[in-house]
């Protein structure tokens, strides 16, 4: 197939949607498809290892990393699509004017389209806005997909139609440790991928140890998140403080991968609670850097309670690292309580469960041993095939709709 992908988010920006759109394009190209990407992100990165992926920047006004809504942009995108004549258009987003414009441009050209929602539609004001957008614009897509059962449930309730569940993907072999517990370096991110930009080793203070390291090792908590209020990064600091109080001699530390407007507030909280010397801020990290940080981590801590999927959680599990997270959104689909990690119902409980994982060696060993099991459904070999099925369904629906239109026209003659 000839597949067009439209998205506000694309490398060199780093984030979950960016990585998924990029990896999807590569996975589809590896399966023999021609993929043409139309991103709004400035100076977009093309995958050097996938010549069947072509990236063509669409120069539109951007504010806050998304396109400024403007109906005239639909014509701009339609002109680009018309030149490439794709078999299907795949738009990524939710509150994304560019993604919505991609669907409307496809409709103008009578092209089949798929729209993927990467977000939960919560709380209520968000749901109300999303429902209006879905019913007015996104429902024009031939197929709508969501990245988790929680997301699919939200979309279905908002737009009143069937939605396909296609989870986020990961090349599991890139994250899986070998038999000695060392990440499999022979199958790292292919050359030219933007998430392999940082090839240096993590300076985390010790050589690699498996996540179930013995009790003499100082446990290391890793947080991978944007430092913004929605992600609740301050709870990482509060969880660390509880762990220190419970086991002051453990030497427990916290490594944070990510940056954002709450960086200063997180730093202040660490100083207030007397744990600043145990916290390292790594800033925005490439995926290679995240893999390094997960090496030998005692656990991944994710305090956000509005995760549509939780890509960092999948990466941690694939690396054999236990997870402590909030039992909400798509997280409950990725983590079984006391098997792959621990799930909290409140943020106070989250603090306590992080401390429990830090101090309970047997629990940590058990969860580390189970973490990487049963992830086959998330491997790109499976997820890419599900996208192919969505594209086929969109094409079939568009063809069926077209025949119905022709029949109605014929009946009126």
Q: What is the pLDDT of residues 98-135, one digit of tens each?
A: 899 999 999 999 999 999 999 999 999 999 999 999 99
Q: Within its chain, how far is the Cα of 124 from the centroid? A: 23
The full length of the chain comes to: 413
Residue 194 reports pLDDT greater than 60: no
Residue 350 reports pLDDT greater than 80: yes
3-state helix, strand, coil in the chain (%, to 5): 45, 15, 40
Mean per-residue pLDDT for 396-402? 87
Residue with tokens 């200063």: 264
Mean per-residue pLDDT for 85-108? 93
Q: Record the tokens describing residue 381, joined without a space.
A: 């070999």
Residue with tokens 């940056």: 259
DSSP 286-341: -HHHHHHHHTT-SEEEE--S--SS-HHHHHHHHTT--EEEES-TTHHHH--BTTTE
Q: How crowded is residue 225: how many other Cβ atoms within 10 Å of its Cβ?
A: 23
Q: Record the tokens describing residue 123, joined without a space.
A: 């709380």
Residue 410 reports pLDDT greater than 60: no
Which range, of 72-76, 217-221, 320-324, 329-333, averages the lowest pLDDT? 72-76
Q: Domains in the chain, start-ordered, CATH in brackets?
A: 2-169+380-412 (3.40.50.2000), 179-371 (3.40.50.2000)
**Cβ-based neighbours of 34, under 8 Å, separated by 6 or more:** 1, 2, 3, 52, 54
Q: Record the tokens describing residue 354, joined without a space.
A: 């992080």
Closest CA to 6 of 93, 65, 83, 64: 93
pLDDT at 189: 40
pLDDT range class, residue 69, cuts 50, 70, 90: low
Residue 34's φ and ψ, nearest 5 degrees, are -95, 125
pLDDT range class, residue 13, cuts 50, 70, 90: confident
Q: Do 319 and 175 form a contact (C-beta atoms < 8 A)?
A: yes
Distance of alpha carbon 249 from alpha carbon 52, whole angstroms: 54
pLDDT at 281: 98
Distance of alpha carbon 358 from alpha carbon 211, whole angstroms: 11
Q: Record the tokens describing residue 225, joined without a space.
A: 């998140």
Distance of alpha carbon 271 from alpha carbon 275, whole angstroms: 6
Q: Do 315 and 169 form a contact (C-beta atoms < 8 A)?
A: no
pLDDT at 404: 43
Residue 401 reports pLDDT greater than 90: no
Mean pLDDT of the chain: 88
Distance of alpha carbon 234 from alpha carbon 189, whole angstroms: 31
Residue 182 reports pLDDT greater than 50: no
Q: Do 131 and 123 form a contact (C-beta atoms < 8 A)?
A: no
Residue with tokens 């140890």: 209
pLDDT at 388: 98
Cis before residue 215, ω within 30 degrees of 0? no
């Amino acid at each position: 197939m000839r597949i067009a992908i439209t998205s506000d988010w694309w490398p060199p920006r780093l984030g979950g949607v960016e990585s998924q759109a990029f990896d999807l394009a590569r996975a589809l190209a590896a399966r023999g498809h021609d993929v043409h990407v139309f991103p709004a992100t400035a100076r977009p990165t093309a995958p050097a290892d996938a010549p069947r992926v072509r990236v063509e920047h669409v120069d539109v006004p951007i504010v806050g990393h998304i396109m400024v809504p403007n109906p005239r942009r639909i014509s701009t995108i339609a002109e680009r699509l018309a030149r490439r004549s794709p078999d299907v258009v795949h738009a990524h987003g939710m509150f994304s004017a560019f993604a919505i414009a991609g669907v409307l441009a496809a409709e103008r050209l009578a092209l089949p389209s798929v729209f993927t929602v990467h977000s939960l539609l919560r709380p209520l004001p968000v749901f109300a806005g999303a429902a209006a957008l879905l019913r007015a614009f996104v429902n024009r897509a031939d197929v709508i997909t969501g990245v988790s059962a929680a997301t699919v449930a939200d979309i279905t309730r908002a737009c009143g139609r069937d939605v396909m569940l296609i989870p986020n993907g990961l090349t599991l072999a890139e994250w899986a440790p070998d038999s000695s517990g060392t990440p499999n370096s022979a199958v790292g991110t292919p050359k030219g991928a933007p998430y392999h930009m940082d090839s240096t080793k993590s300076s985390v203070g010790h050589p690699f140890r498996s996540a179930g390291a013995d009790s003499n090792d100082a446990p290391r908590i890793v947080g991978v998140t944007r430092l913004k209020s929605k992600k609740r990064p301050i709870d990482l600091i509060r969880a660390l403080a509880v762990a220190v109080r419970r086991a002051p001699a453990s030497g427990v530390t916290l490594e944070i991968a990510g940056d954002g407007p709450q960086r200063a507030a997180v730093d202040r909280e660490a100083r207030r609670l007397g744990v600043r010397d145990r916290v390292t801020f790594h800033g925005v990290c490439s995926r290679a850097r995240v893999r390094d940080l997960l090496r030998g981590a005692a656990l991944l801590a994710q305090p956000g309670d509005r995760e549509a999927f939780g890509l960092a959680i999948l990466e941690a599990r694939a690396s054999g690292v236990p997870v402590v997270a909030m039992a909400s959104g798509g997280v409950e689909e990725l983590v079984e309580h006391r098997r792959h990690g621990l799930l909290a119902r409140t943020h106070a409980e989250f603090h306590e469960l992080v401390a429990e994982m830090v101090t309970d060696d047997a629990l940590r060993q058990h969860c580390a041993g189970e973490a990487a099991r049963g992830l086959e459904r998330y491997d790109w070999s499976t997820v890419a095939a599900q996208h192919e099925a969505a594209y086929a369904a969109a094409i079939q629906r568009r063809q069926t709709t077209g025949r119905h239109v022709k029949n109605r026209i014929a009946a009126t003659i």
